[in-house]
Amino acid sequence: MSPMHSYRRLVSLTSPTYVLVAFVARVPLAMSQIGTLLLVAAETGSYGAGGATAGALAVANAVGAPVAGSLADRWGQRPVVLVQSVVGAVGLVALVLCATGGAPLTTLLVVAALAGAALPQVGPLARVRWRPLTAGEAQQGRLVATAFSYEGAADEASFVLGPAVVGLLAALVDPAGALVVAAVTLGVFGTAFGLHGSAPRGTGRRVGGTSAPLLTATVLVLLGAQTLLGMVFGSIQTGSTAVATDAGMPGAAGLVHALLGVGSVTAALTYAYLPDRFTLGRRLLVAAAALAVLSSPLLLADTLPAVAAVTLVLGFAVAPYMITTFTLAERVVPVARVATAMTLLAGATGLGYAAGAALAGRLADLARAGSIDLGAPTAAYVVTVGSGVAALLLAGAAAWRRTLVAEVPDGDPEPASAPDTPAITAVR
């Protein structure tokens, strides 16, 4: 089955409407963090307050995502996503009211954290739906692999579109209006995603008691891998801000960072064309090597066009890396706990983002103060390159220790097809 035929078949199994709903429903999450930063910074006059509030939202979402995933495994996605969509939308509106009403920073932090904890991780939950949707299909493995390629592209596209929409609305209306639009979008499309007939039902029981453990050696490696990828994201955004500010065009930072997503979307859509003999274990190792190698020129780039070019090329390593980690997780965890695993990976990415942004920002501040002999952008990019190298070392160690799953040929039964099937610990 060709990739194009696989894409057409996936759309026919759902509908174009579902594809649209599932994509738009994930955009509010991409809008919320930068929208919160701009709103609070504009209302308080402090970028520190804006960054702290946005960070509270991001960290709470990273912590709350696996909790919601576990609930979805037990009770089904429909009730969980519906509650999250409504509560998350109300939380964003409450944050707008508090910020524009002059509430103290402590209140803003609490409200942002509550809103962030409620925001649904639509991308990971959408991935969970594809195996039940393709049940009984010929070459199901190929269809699921193609679906994960698409989901990776959709995630990256949402994180290009979301900040762009926020920037446009903030310029045309105000930051508060941008966050209200995010809330309305979540309320409408998040609810539609939750109500869609593809939403899997839960087991009706606590899934933590299944005989096959969730946090196997493979899953721990994948969590570490996604944390490092999140650090790449956070440090690149900080570095892009520093280099754009030094160039006298701070507004260009978002455009430079968006180039990472452009390259990543392109790579994600072509990921399905990789041959089956190029196994997942090897893909993770190659993608991690690409992260390390393609990020290295950032240490030498000293102009905005040079950074933009390197960032665009680096994006081609991001999607293959992320798609591979999510695909591996879907194959090795018990089927009754797939939503928990997907949201754990998303949460790890969010925590890595926060850590990478904080560390890169600290190094950039030290460089500006002359405490370290580096330029501010270069100092921030040290974290980017270091995270890429660490990802390569992790993938290499996992291959050497044989802690990654051995894949089965596409179309054959998957390791996760039975809840009590133990994870396979070998790499081919």
Which amino acid does the sequence have at 111?
Answer: V
Q: Do domains 1-205 and 209-428 have the same CATH topology?
A: yes
- The pLDDT value recorded for residue 418 is 36
- The pLDDT value recorded for residue 422 is 31
The SS3 of residue 29 is helix
- The pLDDT value recorded for residue 193 is 94
* Overall pTM > 0.85: no
Listed by start position, the domains of the chain span: 1-205, 209-428
- The pLDDT value recorded for residue 424 is 27
- For residues 124 and 345, the answer to whether their CB atoms sit within 8 Å is yes
Print pLDDT tens along the chain (428 aa): 677 888 888 888 888 999 999 999 999 998 888 788 878 888 887 766 777 888 889 889 988 888 988 888 888 889 999 999 999 999 999 999 999 999 999 999 999 999 999 999 898 899 889 888 888 787 787 888 888 888 888 888 887 788 778 878 877 888 899 899 999 999 999 999 999 888 877 665 555 544 456 778 888 899 999 999 999 988 887 788 778 777 887 667 767 877 888 888 888 888 878 877 788 888 899 999 999 999 999 998 878 899 999 999 999 999 899 989 988 888 878 777 788 888 888 889 888 888 888 888 888 888 877 778 777 678 889 999 999 999 999 999 888 776 665 443 344 444 443 333 333 222 22
Distance CA 160, CA 156 (A): 6
Distance CA 238, CA 259 (A): 14
Distance CA 383, CA 72 (A): 35
Q: Which CATH class is domain 209-428?
A: mainly alpha
Q: Locate 347 and state its tokens.
A: 């949460």
Domain 1-205, architecture per CATH: Up-down Bundle (1.20)
The SS3 of residue 76 is coil
Q: Could you tell me where the DSSP H helices lie in 333-427?
A: 338-368, 376-401
- For residues 122 and 65, the answer to whether their CB atoms sit within 8 Å is no
Distance CA 339, CA 241 (A): 34
What does DSSP assign to residue 165?
H
What does DSSP assign to residue 370?
T
SS3 content of the chain, % helix, strand, coil (to 5): 80, 0, 20
Which amino acid does the sequence have at 16?
Answer: P
- The pLDDT value recorded for residue 205 is 55
Look-up: residue for tokens 């963090």?
A: 33
Q: Locate 410 and state its tokens.
A: 């596409």
Distance CA 6, CA 43 (A): 48
Query: Would you list the DSSP string of 259-281?
Result: HHHHHHHHHHHHHTTS-TTS-HH
Other CB atoms within 10 A of residue 371 CB: 11
- For residues 122 and 77, the answer to whether their CB atoms sit within 8 Å is no
- The pLDDT value recorded for residue 425 is 26
Distance CA 153, CA 158 (A): 9
- Cα angle, residue 46 at apex, residues 41 and 48 outer, rounded to 5°: 95
Q: Locate 323 and state its tokens.
A: 């798609």
